[in-house]
Amino acid sequence: MHKKGVIMIVVVVLLFLIVFGFKYKQESTEVFGVSRSGVIQGNEVWSKTIYITGDTIVPKGITVIIKPGTKILIKANYDDQNEGGNHIIDEVTYNDPTSSTEYTSMHAHFFIHGKLIAVGTPEEKIIFTSDSEDPKHTDWDGITFESTSSGEMKYCIIEWAHTGPAIHRTNKVNISYCEIKHIFWGGLHAFESSPTFEYNLLDDIGHEAFDTHKASPMIRFNNISHARTGAVFNYYDLSTQKPLIFENNIIENSGNLAALQENAKVIIRNNKFIGSKDTGGPWQYKGFTLFSEEYSNGFLLTDNVGVEITNNIFVGIENAISYKRIGPNAGVGHTTNIPEPFEIGENPIRILIKNNYFDDLRTEKQLEEIEEKWENVELINNSFGDSEQSFP
Dist. CA 112–CA 273, nearest whole Å = 34
**Domain boundary at 185, 204, 219, which?**
185
Give per-residue pLDDT as tens, 289-326.
999 999 999 999 988 889 999 999 999 998 999 998 87
4 in any annotated domain? no
Instruction: Note the pLDDT of residue 328.
Output: 58
- Torsion sign over Cα 246, 349, 228, 162: positive
- Is 215 within the bounds of a domain? no
The answer to whether residues 279 and 388 belong to one domain is yes
Residues 300 and 367 in one domain: yes
Whether 372 is covered by a domain: the verdict is yes
Same domain, 81 and 142: yes
In a domain, 177, yes or no: yes
Average pLDDT over residues 94-110: 93
| Final residue belonging to a domain, choices 127, 160, 185 | 185
Q: Rounded to an integer, what distance in angstroms lies between the CA atom of residue 289 and that of residue 92?
A: 11
Residue-level pLDDT at 18 = 45
Assigned domain for 21 exists = no
135-154 pLDDT tens trace: 999 999 999 999 999 999 99
* Domain membership of residue 118 as a residue range: 28-185
Highest mean pLDDT pick, 24-28, 46-50, 92-96, 191-195: 46-50
Q: Domain tally for the chain?
A: 2
pLDDT exceeds cutoff 80 at 344: no
The verdict on 262 and 135 lying in the same domain is no
381 phi/psi in degrees, rounded to 5: 55, 40
User: What pLDDT, on the 0 to 100 scale, is given for residue 14?
Assistant: 52
Whether residues 241 and 383 fall in one domain? yes
Is residue 204 within 8 Å of residue 181, measured between CB atoms?
Answer: yes
Q: Which of 157, 185, 213 is the last residue of a domain?
A: 185
Q: Spell out a b/e string for 81-96, using b for 16 or more CB atoms within 10 Å of the CB, else e.
A: beebeebbbbebbeeb
Is there a domain that residue 318 lies in? yes
**Does a structural domain hold residue 216?**
no
| Structural domain includes residue 14 | no
Q: Are 46 and 123 in a shared domain?
A: yes
